[in-house]
Structure 1
Amino acid sequence: MAYRQQQSFDGSTHELHQQSAPYEDQQGYDNGYTEGPSRVRGGAGGYGATGGNDYGYSPKPKKRSKWLLIGVPVLILVIIAAVLGGVLGSRAANKSNDLTAGSSNGTATTTTGTGNAQATSTATDAGSAAASSAAANGGIARFAVATDTYLLPVYPTTTNTAVYFAPTVSARTNHQWPSDPDSPSTTAPRDHPRIIAPSYKWDALPDLIANDAYLAGWNATIMANATANFEAPSITYTLDGGLTGSGVLDVARELKVRVKNWGYAWRMTKDTKWIDRAYTELNVAMGGDASIPFGDGDTRWNWQHFLDVGEFTSAFGIAYDWMYDGFTEEQRTALRNAIVTYGLNYCDDAYTAGPTGANAWWLAVNGNWNCVINAGCSIGALAIQTEDTTGVAARVLAASVTNAQGNCLRSVMSDGSWSETPNYWYFGTTGFAELTSAVTTAWGSDQDLLNTNENFHLTGEYHMYAQGMTSLFNYADHGPLKYSATANSLLFMGSAYNIPTYTLYQREQYDASEPFSMFWYEPSTVGAFWDGLALDHHFDSGSDDWASMRSTWTDNKGLYVAMKAGNMTGHQTHGDIDAGDFVLDAMGQRWAGELGSGNYLSTGYFGGEGEDAQRWLYYRKRTEGQNTIVLDYLNQNVMTQPPTTYGSSDDAQGSSTVMTLESGSTAFYTMDLTTAYNGTSILRGVRTLNQRKQVLVQTDITAPDATNIQWRMHTNATIAISTDGLTATLSLGGETMSVVISNPTTGASFSQLPATRYASDPPLPAQTDGEDADQDNGDTTVLAIELTGGTYSLQVVFNPQWEGSSSSDFVTPPNVAIGDWTLTSHD
């Protein structure tokens, strides 16, 4: 087992378990609800394409254990990025690991009983000392003072007027990159190293580290990671779902993480031990381990699951380029031959054949597969461009950038929404950033990748507003473990698009400490990301159509609520039937949350998005598995795209970390779900109340002929229902939420139901290879309200029991028809 460090905001590190595939018994990686058996297969993307076309396959399964409740403050297994995608306030862990609670400052830690404890301690001391030294040299100290149990930054409650101001870029000479002294081109690329981090940046880095607390801390963490990787055994090549399943994708991603760390350590120290260790690992990937029982000949990087090719080629390209002057000529030749034989030849074949070629459907996909694979093929080709004698590197580069422009770059909608899901955003934007950065540094020009989609830069907002107080508004599939994907595309976009807010936001996040961040980060960026940032946002492109509302950007115990309308198709077969779905955070807990992915290996899971698709038979994809209304026990119409209305008092946070709200501060979001229910009139809305201390979820229903109307909300909380059934008291993580039916006061009552399929649901498809028919959702339950046919204005009010509050602090909203909602309608 290998380990990877992640750094907190106090300079300490978390030791995260990074295992070789398969990841049996691994659980969720989103701090939220359970994801049940969350070690889903399939890599950085699904197996279908836009519109429900099934290009894919069903990989073979591995057995997985049940998720653990997250009332226990343990560190989730993320080697990956910070997102994690689960249901409510839970955290899951590999049952074989000894996980312990965090320290008193809110920083989670783990113990493993291995020799890496010293690495953790060393990184903690080094990170803290480096950050302090950088601040003392005139740099700005880190804003966040710790991380909470969800690994989110914790900010001080005092206002530092000297550094908390609107985001901008300064002209401090000891805090900025020097000008590029070279003038590379497509035909005369820069000398090695040319990918992501050219020589002039390596030369400037030590001084910047000495003067920037963020760079100093990240540097210490990366070096600790490199040491931990150095001491670990070589990666075990274990198939995941067979070669035509997820193959060796996890192997490729772990290799990529390792060689980035070792390449960084080599360039910073020139110690040849990093070169030797890197080549040992690369040699295994080239076939040097005779015990590996698959992938003979030129199929070793598994073109049958093309993400594997992309990530292996990327890993080898980075290693070849960053460590070029450390390898012997014999080693360089071997690496170059591997890049061509196992990687670029297959990339070239795919570009030549087009999307109808064998396993090349990704060429026509607006999603993460296209971004990740084009990035990998390009990085491998750029790395060997000046030494390649076969001509394949030039052919690949002539095709990859153009294909990415027409597909990867089209993955962002007009409002910034990612075409797949908030979790797949990580994979896709990481691929985009790596591709664009590599091309720009090697050739001196981004080849119009930055401008192909004039809205691409808006996707940073999409990510920021999808992040709640505990985890993402993680609707639909959440994807696999985020080995080589982080949110550091925000650092790249912050610099490339000159959006300092992105840089300032991401530099505080726990996943910021990795090698590419050192070069994407613009250290001359200053200010507070939250200064002037609106609390609310409506994403209205129609791809999903959703709204995000919060009470603060800097207090993780504040309030966050998000709701979506539609549509359910066109997300690379990753969507749910979930119009009207919502999540709710308050007091540091997720009270209403998402179940996340189903089992990617289930029969028909990626078989399409039509009304009769087998995907919609699985609980986590069905309407009943969402936080919305179920009519007569049936799914919503998957082709709906409900019209929506949004309003906000347009509050923005100021420079202070303490947000003060005016009495009229509010936001609302409504939708007409009539088409979702095949002509039955159902309108739904959410709004904040009482200076954003309370939330109202209202559903106006006209369904006289309905047999059953069910309001459903998935929660990990313990539920106690009052005698009259009008109040449900939820308890979670030592906090309490009171949920009240304020209208109607007769004929409606709360009940608690299991998070399982209805008895009347159509049967599930027959499963193969011992797969479970549907997932066990553990202790997640459903808070429900059941009504018979009729006309209702169902008002459910959420009253978080804030510290120091009393019953007199809460308001009962008036009953206003959703069509009449305005900013002042509930004053």
Structure 2
Amino acid sequence: MKLTMLFLLLGMQTFAQTDTLPVGASVPGHPRILMLKGEENQLRKMIASDPVWQKMHQSIVAEADKMIGLPNLERKLEGRRLLGVSRECIRRLFYLSYAYRITGDGKYSQRAKSEMLAVAAFQDWNPSHFLDVAEMTLGMAIGYDWLYDHLSQNDRKTISGAILEKGVNTSLQSKNNNWLRVTNNWNQVCNTGMAYGALAIYEQQPELARGIINRGIKSIQLPMADYQPEGAYPEGYGYWGYGTSFNVLFISALEKIFQKDFGLTEKPGFLQTAGYLENMTGPTGAPFNYSDAGNGGGLNAAMFWFAGKQKDPSLLWVEKSWMESGKSHTRDRLLPAIMLWNNNIRLSSIKPPQALLWTGGGKNPVALMRTSWTDKNAIFAGMKGGSPSVNHAHMDVGSFVMESGGVRWAMDFGMQDYNSLESKGISIWGLAQNSQRWQVYRYNNYAHNTLTVNGNFQNVKGDARITAFNRDENFLQATTDISKLYAGDLEKAVRGIAIVNKQYVVVRDEIEAPQKETVVRWTLLTPADVKITGGNTAELSKNGKTLTLKVDAPLPVQMKTWSTESKNDYDASNKGTILTGFEMTVPAGFKGAMNVYLLPEKNTKTAPVKALSEWPASK
């Protein structure tokens, strides 16, 4: 025990730690994580009073019923990861434990106990990939804590012993805890998993548990700093759902047990990040899936926590649409948390947001704009700045997505399954200019809605800020200076995107070439059928809708399409997509601008495009 505490204290010195949770701090009895003993009654009343929440409750219980007959989990790695098993561990134990606490039916606790004993018997929880340990520990902590009164003394000893030895204690070894010092989702997930383990076994190891919790309170502030200034999450939509949801789990557990959040919700930008996520979803329901994000959206339980904190139900407009969609949400391992965080908000009270444009700075700045929150056919555009050097980033600086008429015309591939690349020997985590990561088709600028100059990759050390924006609904716009991404190929490159008069989108690129002939390629990735219709036009068609791409440039352009199928066997298939756009050769020292109009449904009326410096901008 003394050696264990020494390792912990040495690790905490990294943060100039002074205990945030005082010596002798007490915790309530079990259950205490997220929902205290006796709080089931209040939740039952809420469920009985609202058919929406009754339906959500029933879907969770029905899923728990399906789990009854499943075989116990086994320790089977996929590549170097046990993460799939760990995530299913959370899903099963969270659903089964919830079903037991609300219904009182012992079949759920009995099934959960069997699962916990099986997981406790694993040789380890794969500490070499510590996310696996963190998620397994969190699932086991919820199950152990919520079902504590149903477990025998031997069961408690076995399960709590596994939480301690295969979970919490492994985080004390330096080879396993580099996540304490990083600013990405690993920090949020791992600190949360370890804190849950510590809270579950607090009375057995109070000094150790208090140290783990205090270590987490200090360490988790590192990634939380990345939400400032306005809440844009650097790793994008998909990892927001991961890192931020676990961050909320961390804070919510502390609040429930200690009645305070230790100042974490006061961190600049953190509560505002709900606005980021809400605005990231277009009218089609698809997210702006830049970086390593999947191409699908979904319900996020943490948004209800944020709406409660902000006292702003309009933050749940997109979540409301997901709940009304009729789709199942039971693959979400954290779904039961929505019953704890919903603040008894009735869907009928959720009104659409007022603002049509949202911008956020930080490591990966974004601008998100739309013509309406209530019209499924509304025009939507999202653009990003940032840098390829950001964690999980792609060479997609200046890229955008665009929707109109219920079709996503300009899309992003998002991520490729990591194991599909790693299993073929591809190293995908290097961020240097010559890293193998950039040879993956989906990761480099060839496959994104941005510029490629002289056939070169974007500069990984480059960075782009959102330099101006405008909230006027008749000229929603955002501008970013992407010059540093093309150092050596262009002297200047500034991109602006605007929705004009609620009718169409214009993308303006102002460039300056060096003292050499330069080839500029402008691309748009689309799932639509594409037909080149003229020297400066192309027609996109999908689902009975059309979009005209029209180029206005000072020099001749060559309209093109490019296949999205890679010749590399490690690249994912990109069937059903195509790149379109143009190439333009500019002479040495060229200074000029290219305007690309994206015109829905054969709209041919366009207004003259002014220089970006003359675009109206909000203060």
- Displacement, 1:597? 1.9
- Displacement, 1:304? 1.0
Q: Is the 8 A contact 2:536 2:550 kept in 1?
A: yes
- C-alpha change, 1:595 and 1:706, in structure 2 (3 Å) is farther
Q: Supply the AA of the counterpart residue of 1:778.
A: K
Q: Report 1:46-65 matches (<5 A).
A: none
Is 1:721–2:532 an aligned residue pair? yes
Match 2:44 to one of 202, 206, 210: 206
- Displacement, 1:185? 11
Aligned residue in 1 for 2:291: 476
Aligned residue in 2 for 1:191: 29
Aligned residue in 1 for 2:5: none
Q: Supply the AA of the counterpart residue of 1:697.
A: V
Is 1:338–2:162 an aligned residue pair? yes
Q: Aligned partners of 2:377 and 2:117: how far apart in 1?
A: 49
Is 1:437–2:252 an aligned residue pair? yes
- C-alpha change, 1:186 and 1:509, in structure 2 (3 Å) is farther
- C-alpha change, 1:524 and 1:580, in structure 2 (3 Å) is closer
Q: Supply the AA of the counterpart residue of 1:701.
A: I
Is 1:798–2:587 an aligned residue pair? no
- Displacement, 1:638? 2.1
**SS class of match (2:373):** coil
Aligned residue in 1 for 2:228: 413
Is 1:730–2:540 an aligned residue pair? yes
- Displacement, 1:409? 2.3
Q: Report 1:302-701 matches (<5 A).
A: 302-347=126-171, 349-350=172-173, 357-386=174-203, 388=204, 392-405=208-221, 407-451=222-266, 453-470=267-284, 471-478=286-293, 487-503=300-316, 505-510=318-323, 514-524=335-345, 529-541=350-362, 543-569=363-389, 571-572=390-391, 574-598=392-416, 600=418, 601-602=421-422, 603=425, 605-651=427-473, 665-678=474-487, 679-689=490-500, 691-701=501-511
**SS class of match (1:450):** helix
Is 1:263–2:57 an aligned residue pair? no
Q: Report 1:18-97 matches (<5 A).
A: none
Match 2:116 to one of 282, 287, 295: 282
Q: Supply the AA of the counterpart residue of 1:372.
A: V
- Displacement, 1:715? 1.1
- C-alpha change, 1:713 and 1:487, in structure 2 (3 Å) is same
TM-score by length of 1: 0.66
Q: Aligned partners of 2:51 and 2:23: how far apart in 1?
A: 34
Q: Is the 8 A contact 1:743 1:815 kept in 2?
A: no
More helix, by proportion? 2
Q: Supply the AA of the counterpart residue of 1:456.
A: F
Q: Supply the AA of the counterpart residue of 1:376.
A: G
- C-alpha change, 1:645 and 1:411, in structure 2 (3 Å) is closer
**SS class of match (1:697):** strand
Q: Supply the AA of the counterpart residue of 1:712.
A: T
**SS class of match (2:156):** helix
Q: Aligned partners of 1:577 and 1:203: how far apart in 2?
A: 51
Q: Supply the AA of the counterpart residue of 1:544.
A: N
Q: Aligned partners of 1:504 and 1:217: how far apart in 2?
A: 19
- Displacement, 1:497? 4.2
Q: Supply the AA of the counterpart residue of 1:427.
A: Y
- Displacement, 1:434? 0.9
- C-alpha change, 1:201 and 1:214, in structure 2 (3 Å) is farther
- Displacement, 1:667? 0.8
Q: Aligned partners of 2:615 and 2:250: how far apart in 1?
A: 46
- C-alpha change, 1:315 and 1:751, in structure 2 (3 Å) is same
Q: Aligned partners of 1:683 and 1:188: how far apart in 2?
A: 57
TM-score by length of 2: 0.87
Q: Aligned partners of 2:402 and 2:503: how far apart in 1?
A: 12
**SS class of match (1:431):** helix
Q: Is the 8 A contact 2:320 2:347 kept in 1?
A: no
Q: Aligned partners of 2:546 and 2:163: how far apart in 1?
A: 56
Q: Aligned partners of 1:823 and 1:412: how far apart in 2?
A: 24
- Displacement, 1:599? 5.2
- C-alpha change, 1:346 and 1:390, in structure 2 (3 Å) is farther
Q: Supply the AA of the counterpart residue of 1:775.
A: A
**SS class of match (2:538):** strand
Give the superposed CA RMSD.
2.7
Q: Aligned partners of 1:448 and 1:553: how far apart in 2?
A: 34
* Runs of 4 or more consecutive aligned structure 1 residues displaced over 6 Å after TM superposition: 479-482
Q: Is the 8 A contact 2:232 2:366 kept in 1?
A: no
- Displacement, 1:331? 1.6
Q: Aligned partners of 2:347 and 2:562: how far apart in 1?
A: 50
Q: Is the 8 A contact 2:50 2:346 kept in 1?
A: no
Q: Supply the AA of the counterpart residue of 1:416.
A: G
Q: Supply the AA of the counterpart residue of 2:401.
A: V
Q: Aligned partners of 2:351 and 2:550: how far apart in 1?
A: 33
Q: Aligned partners of 1:512 and 1:434: how far apart in 2?
A: 19
- C-alpha change, 1:671 and 1:402, in structure 2 (3 Å) is closer
Q: Is the 8 A contact 1:674 1:680 kept in 2?
A: yes
- C-alpha change, 1:378 and 1:497, in structure 2 (3 Å) is farther
- Displacement, 1:532? 4.9
Match 2:62 to one of 224, 248, 261: 224
Residues 167-213 of structure 1 deviation map (CA, whole Å, 9 limit, x = unaligned): xxxxxxxxxxxxxxxxx997221222211112343111121112223
- C-alpha change, 1:686 and 1:524, in structure 2 (3 Å) is closer
- Displacement, 1:631? 0.8
Q: Aligned partners of 1:577 and 1:476: how far apart in 2?
A: 9
Q: Aligned partners of 1:751 and 1:523: how far apart in 2?
A: 53
Q: Is the 8 A contact 1:544 1:564 kept in 2?
A: yes
- Displacement, 1:530? 4.4
Which structure ranks higher in relative contact order (CA pairs < 8 Å, sequence separation ≥ 6)? 1
**SS class of match (2:175):** coil
Aligned residue in 2 for 1:174: none
Q: Aligned partners of 1:186 and 1:616: how far apart in 2?
A: 52
Q: Is the 8 A contact 2:469 2:479 kept in 1?
A: no
- C-alpha change, 1:443 and 1:504, in structure 2 (3 Å) is farther
Q: Aligned partners of 2:59 and 2:210: how far apart in 1?
A: 36
- Displacement, 1:416? 0.5
Identity, in percent, stands at 28
Residues 366-395 of structure 1 deviation map (CA, whole Å, 9 limit, x = unaligned): 121111111111111111212x15854343
Q: Supply the AA of the counterpart residue of 1:545.
A: P
Q: Aligned partners of 2:388 and 2:230: how far apart in 1?
A: 17
